[in-house]
A and B are shown apart, each in its own frame.
Chain A
């Protein structure tokens, strides 16, 4: 199905309805408009009412998941210190890796004959499923039976920006829509008063920049809207100084009246859309602050996430992610870029798991107890993995680190049709190559789109004479991950 044509047709249908109202003398007072515009989305029923391109839509197949929370671990976490336990590494610790294994791969900073470096973390089995996890993830261990760990991820890029862009958009080249934009394009949003695709960041800036949540060649209303950790949660959400909510409302009312009058004069339906946009903006001015006001969350909840009220953190963003999806937001993208451990990987991993482990696990628990995990996908992972070899360089003070490693890395998923309590895929004894059930980035995307109710080869957008899709020309559904 090509949504582009559908969009056009549906917009046309709606516009004809507006004309009907006008021709029948209903007039264009605010009452009539209210029934025509945004508020109608609240009407129950399955029939989509696409008064705007973001109106909720049914995907072509029955979806297992309705929404996604993507915990993006930028910088690339070390799979060897978190998920992919390799006892053999200990045996060869300090020995150079054989050239037959490396097969000509070039590295960002280390030489291809660098020494192997065994994880300094202890691993043990958890849950009924016996998932093997590092001691750095004590909280995740508690939900081991709810998640699926993939140890056989692989990607094509090994510099941060291109790899992050690939992970988010399915291409290393800039200019493509990200996963969240595709989801919004295909599914629309159920959020009345909030953007359908929200982005939050809790650590360093992103190597891939805004392209990671951009809509590429899709229309801009499908791009991610950043929620800020300081100031207005959404840019320009607050009234200017000295303008009370009441004054703002009066201004908006007047703007609406004058726009309606102009609509009556020139008859361009785009003015109706503008009126709708202003009303949505006004609702966001209320719902934005309400969203970030966590005073009504129970102390147990705050404690479970490890949230300190008033303090921006990954934990806070996880809690807000739950609040966002409760309000109908389709796609929540959290970025936490702090995993680029070229030096002192042990220290770095401890630091970042200290910031993310508890809240990631809490999100699973919280969603589960609220009955939201069934139809919400939670995805955790970075853009590539890290080498089984050590990175060190006394000239610049690097020691006991790990370099970029695109051949194999780990990620985990939960909820929304994902088979819980499994570990998928295997790497070789050194954790260098995937040897079983390889999952390429495209395969991951294909699987996620499948869970959202799409055939990934059919969710397309015609651009430059070609039907583009998230999975480019690749992608196989990973059947083994499906519940």
Chain B
């Protein structure tokens, strides 16, 4: 640290030089009386562009002035939201002098020319740029168009329809009494009649079964399913079909995917490093919950606060992954706290979009410009989410749980056997216990003032421990400086602490939580002379637990790169707190002038050859992720206690009165340090080797001590303002009585029957999935600026029906209403897909098209290209390649190597083998910085932020994908073989079959003839070119059954490819 020394003169000169150079940019010089002579010069310059009142000026007034001079308050009888009031002349002259900004009183006040009455008097001052805009607006004539919409008062805003709970409207009597099948249709028909439009006729049965099958499961119906449906002439055939589809496990996959868009699900952390993460158990939870029609209020509560329910199940904890789906920055050199805050901002945004339909994120920096949502509301909302650890939950399979039980019971029986066979065990254990009985030393936790480690960045916790985050790594050299005041320090203690924010609980930073301290060094130096240090010598080190060959003495042997202490090399006691004590040779005096530096040497040398393990230690992590240092002044020698606090209480029970299990438990610790047990320990270690490590998933876990939340000035976390408590926005319904002020209370508030938002938002998104657009076209925003819903009464009726379904005996029953439960999503599905509205033909009538191009009134069913995943699923399904397996870790279908070109650090896409190549699109590994190209081409969102509404584009890249991409090519090849095998005796039959596989319907004569002609041309070509036929028929000839004609297979592959590429194939008609 020699560079700290700098001659005083030199420093002064340098600073002065710098300040001089800074001078010109200090525009506000009024603190300095010498420059106050020319006041106009203190006003920031006017903006040089043309300024628009509505775009440029009104937002500034709204942000800074309306609170005191607006609809609610009119200080000095001035209202900045009313033109007449703003242009009046006050006691001190005109507020605005059109054409002369510098002479206008408003400009003087906001510029601070009158230090006693600076405007605004409190809160954020206007920036020079904002003043420049105001000034330019006045200079340019202060045009205030009469058409400028005067900001609505907060009272008006609160009266916005979407901020009041829906009330069930009466079902309209529509004229065409025969058409409606359920109340949905009455609402639609009433609106159509108002527009002088008529509903379209019902779609044909084949279109209907394909439509409803795609809409409910995302898979096309098989020809057999179509035939069965056509053959079912009994009444209610369609409704039975709907019931079958709603019971299909594939229903949860498709509708789960819709939800995952809003949940911004992805399999990687995002940002630069974009490392993989394991959170697919959350995705599978969503699929399961939707398949069993978990009531939506419960679905909401579990995702926001499943862990806070009484005795939460693993599933309820997994559900909190919704909040954990935020991106996580692991770029080197970041401040972890900055990106924890970013992730909270993302969570508030996701809750706003997914559940509330409100754009709350505008309020991160300022009060909402259009909705009555204040910045304080924002941070009160944020406070609900600010009290958690970012934990990892193990999700063992049943098999793994069984294996774990087996291993534990095997170990217990080995221990019991050893205890029964051991000689003089009681005497040895008594002696051991006596050694444990020494009073525990008194430790003073040392408060780190600076700490430094390359890679993983550490943050000080309330208990003075350090916790690692950011670019997490397996090794490092950690230096920690302390300014402690302690005399006669006799020993230093290092505690390795478990922490929920670490994988498997730590204490290691990564991997399975192991750590290795190669060396602990300590030194002191005088503050004024940091280069001269006094190394602290340790006479002895002891630890609560030492793995064979990894004794703690290694950590004071002077070798910083070799050896080291770790408590265990097996899973036994790995994820537990441990500590080591280092006894000083001589007492150390720490005073205010002395600084203590402790260095933990934990370098790691792992590579792929060693499967990521360190070459020497064979551990997967050395760096401690959570630890604390303490000092004691107690006399030496000290002792350590290997027992946990719970185990320690066993010592109080006389040994003769302990149960066999209590005896075994103490023995299990005793044996670790007993030399006679070496063989037993080795045998048990070998059993531990088989301990299965299950997948983990990311969950939330409430902290015992809540964090304090502040309003951040202009959204900047480094500028905290007033402290706030968790609370809900005042313009919405209050927190339910008795709801706790935490995530659980928030969740209960969201699904409170008095809520104006949730039910409307959810039924609107369901509607959107069926009809291509919602009744409210902006599903993420129900605020004051949205377009009026196309069918407001229907929206409210559906929302009420969702929360409190009609019962047949209530007098309002209708077909399909029997037995519906509150918050049943399947009930809403039935209402919609069984409606006459949904069953209409999608054919477009030109005359009507001119009147209602976007089909807002639903005089026809919309015709929509299916979602990206479904485009791929259709190809896999009709070709017979699809692996219908549900859930599990994400998979890696074929992806060209070159797509990794633009990814930071490159990325090797480990192509899945076997069946996993052909899983449904939603299981494709989703790397945020390298989203799978086939799916992104078809508008699958990136997962960077919550996306309640997908785009639907139609581009050449889509054409190139379905024509040439590997999976689609393989699908065409497989479909060819399927058609040849299953399609019938001749080409016509086979063609019909191929066409039916893709579109559900028979080709007409013209289509059939065109396809036949094409087949013949292709076949003729391949007959003359076997080399081409080989390439086209199959990438892998071993896939071809021996009896298949190669030339024909190639021709069928060409035909299959053509049909797979038809617009109709990837469209839900």
Contact = CB atoms under 8 A, between A and B. Distances in A.
Interface in A1-59: 12, 15-16, 19, 22-23
A41 to B, nearest CB: 14
B865 interface: yes
A174 B959 contact: no
B954 A19 contact: no
Interface stretch (B104-112, B138-146, B290-298, B925-933): B925-933
Contact of B18 (A94, A101, A466): A101
Contacts of B853: 12, 15
A471 B677 CA distance: 71
B265 to A, nearest CB: 15
A281 B902 contact: no
Given A113-B4, A247-B1054, A457 B1032 contact: no
A23 B847 CA distance: 10
B842 A268 contact: yes
B501 interface: no
Contacts of B14: 92, 95, 98
A123 to B, nearest CB: 19
Interface residues of B, number: 121
A205 B21 contact: no
Interface in A242-258: 242-244, 247-248, 250-251, 254-255, 257-258
A242 B1049 CA distance: 13
Contact of B3 (A16, A115, A240): A115
Question: Mostly helix, strand, loop or mixed at chain A's interface?
Answer: mixed
A450 to B, nearest CB: 9
A271 B859 CA distance: 20
Interface string A468-483: 0000011011010000
B945 A259 contact: no
A395 to B, nearest CB: 5
A116 B440 CA distance: 50
A152 B335 CA distance: 26
Given A95-B3, A205-B900, A226-B902, A281 B1032 contact: no
A429 B21 CA distance: 7
A280 B863 CA distance: 23
Contacts of A94: 3
Contacts, number: 315
A221 interface: yes
Interface stretch (A62-70, A228-236, A368-376): A228-236
A306 to B, nearest CB: 21
A267 B929 contact: no
Given A465-B359, A465-B785, A15 B849 contact: yes
B83 interface: no
B944 interface: yes
Interface string B881-907: 000000000000000111111111111
A236 B960 contact: yes
A339 to B, nearest CB: 14
Contacts of B55: 457-458
Nearest to A98: B15
B863 A268 contact: yes
A464 B780 contact: yes
Contacts of A229: 898, 901
Interface stretch (B275-283, B397-405, B1057-1065): B1057-1065
Contact of B1010 (A88, A248, A257, A476): A257
Contacts of A434: 25
A262 to B, nearest CB: 5
B843 interface: yes
Interface in A264-290: 265-271, 273-275, 277-278, 280-282, 284-285
Contacts of B850: 16, 19
A209 B266 CA distance: 14
Interface residues of A, number: 116
A396 B475 CA distance: 11
B951 A219 contact: yes
Contacts of A330: none
A414 B819 CA distance: 71
Given A161-B271, A219-B953, A258-B1007, A100 B333 contact: no
A240 B1032 contact: yes
Given A205-B906, A209-B903, A236-B960, A96 B6 contact: yes
Interface stretch (A103-111, A129-137, A416-424): A103-111
B896 A235 contact: yes
A159 B863 contact: no
Contact of A88 (B10, B17, B19): B17
A113 to B, nearest CB: 7
A108 B4 contact: no
B791 to A, nearest CB: 20
Nearest to B999: A262
Contacts of A396: 454-455
A174 B945 contact: yes
B327 interface: yes
Interface stretch (B46-54, B70-78, B567-575, B809-817): B46-54
20 contacts: A19-B850, A107-B333, A113-B4, A115-B3, A173-B342, A211-B929, A211-B944, A219-B953, A225-B957, A234-B957, A234-B960, A236-B957, A241-B1031, A241-B1035, A251-B1061, A267-B849, A277-B958, A433-B25, A464-B353, A477-B48
Interface of A: 12, 15-16, 19, 22-23, 88, 92, 94-96, 98, 100-101, 106-109, 113-115, 159-162, 173-175, 195, 199, 201, 204-211, 214, 219-221, 225-226, 228-232, 234-244, 247-248, 250-251, 254-255, 257-259, 261-262, 265-271, 273-275, 277-278, 280-282, 284-285, 335, 337, 393, 395-396, 403-404, 428-430, 432-436, 438, 455, 457-458, 464-466, 473-474, 476-477, 479
Question: Which 9 A-B pairs give the minimum distances between C-beta atoms?
Answer: A108-B333, A209-B929, A242-B1031, A281-B959, A174-B944, A267-B844, A281-B956, A207-B272, A242-B1032
